[in-house]
Amino acid sequence: MKRVLIWVLSLWSVVGIGWSRSEDGLQELKAKDRLLSFLEKDAVSPGANSLMIPLTLIQGAASKGAVCLDGTPPGYHLDRGFRSGSNSWLIQLEGGGWCNTIRSCVFRKTTRRGSSKFMEKRLNFTGILSNKAEENPDFYNWNRVKLRYCDGASFSGEGQNEANQLYFRGQRIWSTAMEELMAKGMRNAEQALLSGCSAGGLASILHCDEFKDLFPSTTKVKCLSDAGLFLDATNMAGGHTLRDMYRGMVTLQGVQKNLPNTCTSQMDPTSCFFPQNLIANIQTPLFLLNAAYDAWQVQESLIPSSADPHGFWRDCKMDHSHCNSSQMLFLQDFRNQMLSAINGFSMSNQNGLFINSCFAHCQSERQDTWYANDSPRIGNKAIAASVGDWFFDRTATKAIDCPYPCDNTCHNLIFNDVTSTITISESTRLTFTPLNLLNAFLITLICVPNASWGFSLDRD
Ligand SMILES: *[C@@H]1O[C@H](CO)[C@@H](O)[C@H](O)[C@H]1NC(C)=O
Ligand SMILES: *[C@@H]1O[C@H](CO)[C@@H](O)[C@H](O)[C@H]1NC(C)=O
Ligand SMILES: *[C@@H]1O[C@H](CO)[C@@H](O)[C@H](O)[C@H]1NC(C)=O
């Protein structure tokens, strides 16, 4: 099997006293951050035909209190449409997990997910953001916007924490950004698509009807959620990792008031952050693109390290080909839960679906999964073609793959956490003297294409 080493992250950190093995440990937060970076980035090394689009900070956002976790202004990247796409707008909401505790939100302030100080000044527009017809057949000449994510609650919090100088202003960031884009020409849109991946994919569900309401009824408006179908699932040890995390986030960030009434009048606010309880009530046409074995959910919701302290599930978690039969059954059950969560949703003619049986996450942002010769397909149709057919009402698109391992077009993600060596001196610990903990932490993430899949960088 050919292997392509695409990303090697090496993180050495020297930490003083007070390090604990809790979920909130700094190493853990950093590891989660690296995982997100890997999953949500275009995992291809620099090439010639890059489209680097500059970051625009929203001037005046601060006066409306629409700020990142650390109080810095939010931002976006806009590439103007041209020719027939001049009056069409695509908004892509950036993803990047959530923060659910003071500690994890304070950590975020030191990253691009919580402060525009750390955001890339230019981003590579690929996949659904590409400006080339051969890479992005239906949206290439639209106005394409990537709205950066720096609030930690899928653009839906409202509040602040004075003691820790934390601003939970996701909802205001959303509104302010939409106002800014309307002023930049989006108000004249003839058609518009709100999209997003991961936490941004969930945000595109949460804000879908609000987005539609920005426009006159003559504008064709739809929403696409990529890898946003986070299920209220039970982990391999019987716990509710994701629900517990959402509960903390909803409470800490004051999300409840911004969740749809149709849900909060029936259920507790935490439940109303789960798409399975929202999608039936969304009026605007919505497309759900998701891997049935979503790589982030496998890592962080189904087999979180906290629920597997002895690492019995570790090999399976890192590489699905190492799962034994009972572990695979557990993953198949997750797929079944996903399919039943979308059962009612799929009945509506206006909705679209592409649920492929892959171990992937964010397939619309990466060129290799969105539209390429060897990109994932269901019934010989690539993701870009499926989304385009649905948006333009060319054909109904409700594609659900047969269960693993029937799909040989997947670009599966394999994680190889080579070492996680923690050296700690017993005597130092016992005497309670301040100690420096040298933590060698090396994560090697390897993308292993299926043996039949030719990868552009695979030159060996
Ligand atoms: C930008 O993305 C394209 C398409 O995936 C890729 O070919 C190119 O190498 C990327 N450029 C950078 C600087 O990452
Ligand atoms: C699969 O692995 C898990 C975790 O090590 C173990 O508990 C289970 O018994 C194994 N199942 C089979 C069928 O080997
Ligand atoms: C890889 O593709 C082959 C066919 O080319 C298929 O038989 C096999 O099951 C696939 N493996 C995985 C892990 O998807």
Single out the catalytic residue among 207, 361, 375, 401: 361
What does the pLDDT read at residue 428? Answer: 27
The whole-angstrom separation of Cα 69 and Cα 446 is 32
Residue 195 appears among annotated catalytic residues: no
- The alpha carbon of 410 is separated from its chain's Cα centroid by a whole number of angstroms, namely 18
**DSSP string for residues in 189-229:** -SEEEEEEBTHHHHHHHHTHHHHHHTS-TTSEEEEEEES--
Q: Which atom of ligand 1 is nearest to the CA of 47?
A: 9
In contact, 383 and 364? CB cutoff 8 Å: yes
The whole-angstrom separation of Cα 365 and Cα 382 is 14
Give which of 345, 120, 101, 97 is closest to 227, Cα–Cα. Answer: 97
Mutate to test the pocket of ligand 1, among 7, 42, 122 (most ligand atoms within 8 A of CB): 42
Q: How far is the CA of 375 from the centre of ligand 3 (A)?
A: 14
Q: How far is the CA of 325 from the centre of ligand 2 (A)?
A: 8
Residue 198 appears among annotated catalytic residues: yes
CATH number of 51-409: 3.40.50.1820
Residues with CB under 6 A from ligand 1: 42, 44, 46-47, 49-50, 124, 126, 367
In contact, 242 and 301? CB cutoff 8 Å: yes
Instruction: Give CA separation, 360 vs 113, 227, 289, 409, 412, in Å.
Output: 21, 9, 11, 12, 5
In contact, 331 and 302? CB cutoff 8 Å: yes
Q: How far is the CA of 134 from the centre of ligand 3 (A)?
A: 27
List, in order, residues 6 or more apart from 88 with CB less than 8 Å away: 81, 139, 141, 142, 143, 189, 190, 191, 192
In contact, 158 and 180? CB cutoff 8 Å: no
What does the pLDDT read at residue 137? Answer: 98
Establish whether the linkage from the previous residue to 405 is cis, with ω within 30° of 0: yes
Q: In the chain, which stretches have pLDDT less than 70?
A: 1-24, 40-48, 417-460
Q: How far is the CA of 405 from the centre of ligand 3 (A)?
A: 7
The whole-angstrom separation of Cα 413 and Cα 235 is 20
Q: How many CB atoms lie within 10 A of CB 244?
A: 15
Which residue lies with its CA nearest to atom 1 of ligand 2? 324
Mutate to test the pocket of ligand 1, among 37, 50, 144 (most ligand atoms within 8 A of CB): 50
The whole-angstrom separation of Cα 13 and Cα 427 is 21
What are the structural domain ranges in the chain? Answer: 51-409
322 lines ligand 2 (CB under 6 A): no
Q: How far is the CA of 46 from the centre of ligand 3 (A)?
A: 28
Give the 3-state secondary structure of residue 337.
helix
Give which of 313, 306, 343, 310 is closest to 328, Cα–Cα. Answer: 313
Q: What is the DSSP letter of 7?
A: E
Give which of 285, 302, 304 is closest to 293, Cα–Cα. Answer: 302
- The alpha carbon of 341 is separated from its chain's Cα centroid by a whole number of angstroms, namely 19
Tens digit of each residue's pLDDT (9 = 90 or more) over 310-352: 999 999 999 999 999 999 999 999 999 999 999 999 999 999 9
Which residue lies with its CA nearest to atom 7 of ligand 3? 408
Q: Considering the entire predicted model, what is its pTM?
A: 0.84
Which residue lies with its CA nearest to atom 13 of ligand 1? 46
Residue 294 appears among annotated catalytic residues: yes
What does the pLDDT read at residue 421? Answer: 26
In contact, 169 and 106? CB cutoff 8 Å: no
Instruction: Give CA separation, 137 vs 30, 97, 198, 374, in Å.
Output: 37, 29, 23, 16
What does the pLDDT read at residue 442? Answer: 27
Chain length of the chain: 460
In contact, 379 and 386? CB cutoff 8 Å: no
Give the 3-state secondary structure of residue 348.
coil
**DSSP string for residues in 229-257:** -------TTS--HHHHHHHHHHHHTT-GG
Which ligand ends up closest to the CA of 360?
3
